[in-house]
Amino acid sequence: MRLRGVVLSSLSAALAALLGKAISLFARIITAPRAIWTGGEPRPGPRVYFANHTSNGDFVLVWTVLPAVLRSRTRPVAALDYWLSSPLRAFIGRNVFRAVLIDRRPEARVEDPVSQMVAAIDEGDALILFPEGQRNASEAPLLPFKSGLYHLARQRPEVDLVPVWIANLNRVMPKGAVIPVPLLCTVTFGASLRIREGEAKDAFLARMSGALLELSGGAR
């Protein structure tokens, strides 16, 4: 019994690693993504990458361009209802990306999203977070940020917050598209930020949003 468990879990780990490589390779073939680190070299350890959200492939792209050593310790924060909707997605979400799955329906929640993120940070993992909370299909470059980033920063003020601008992926995979169009994408990482002593929520979120927008270079 025990042997079977060990075999099964190592099989699933191997499958997860293989699937991760395959997803990464696919992302590279379609978008040849280029990482631009404007705020210093990539660093290991707990930190929060917060990015603009225009496509379902966003976190895959951020994850793909991270150095391999950091990738295994970087977890996307994603919607539970989407990632548990089919067995394959659930496997990819849980085993490949080790996503921190957040329930978007406050009434059905058993766990507080901020505590879930704090727990991941405390384990030494980095997070990929989309503070807009949903895909941006509007003309505006960014939607107003939800407050999750603020509460997380409040609880762990010593953690670096890294703005990440993803360019062009919305053209590769616009909402509703099934087949991606191969186009070059860039992922720009800015200088890391932290919450200031006594900084109010609105001021903090505006500062984060501004820092992210600055990386866009005026383009969407």
Q: Is residue 182 at the binding interface for other proteins, with CB under 8 A as the rule?
A: yes
Give backbone dihedrals phi and psi of 197, rounded to 5 degrees, phi first.
Answer: -55, 120
Q: Is residue 179 at the binding interface for other proteins, with CB under 8 A as the rule?
A: yes
Q: Which of 44, 48, 74 is nearest to 60 (CA)?
A: 74
Kindly state the smallest distance separating residue 125's Cβ from other proteins, in Å: 30
Kindly state the smallest distance separating residue 179's Cβ from other proteins, in Å: 5
* For helices 148-155 and 113-122, angle between their N-to-C axes, nearest 10 degrees: 40
Q: Which of 79, 60, 80, 55 is nearest to 20 (CA)?
A: 60
Residue count (the chain):
220
Terminus-to-terminus CA distance in the chain, angstroms?
Answer: 54
Q: Is residue 180 at the binding interface for other proteins, with CB under 8 A as the rule?
A: yes
**Between 31 and 116, whose beta carbon lies closer to other proteins?**
31
Distance of CA 89 to the CA centre of its chain: 16
Q: Report the distance separating Cα 128 and Cα 78, nearest Å.
A: 9
Q: Is residue 171 at the binding interface for other proteins, with CB under 8 A as the rule?
A: yes
User: The tokens of 43 are what?
Assistant: 């660093």
- Residue 28-67 contact track with other proteins, rule CB under 8 A, x = bound: ----x-x---------------------------------
Q: According to CB under 8 A, which one of 174, 192, 207, 220 is a site residue for other proteins?
A: 174
Give backbone dihedrals phi and psi of 79, rounded to 5 degrees, phi first.
Answer: -80, 130
**Between 52 and 186, whose beta carbon lies closer to other proteins?**
186
Q: According to CB under 8 A, which one of 7, 8, 18, 184 is a site residue for other proteins?
A: 184
Q: Is residue 181 at the binding interface for other proteins, with CB under 8 A as the rule?
A: yes
Footprint on this chain of other proteins (rule: CB under 8 A): 32, 34, 168, 171, 174, 177, 179-184
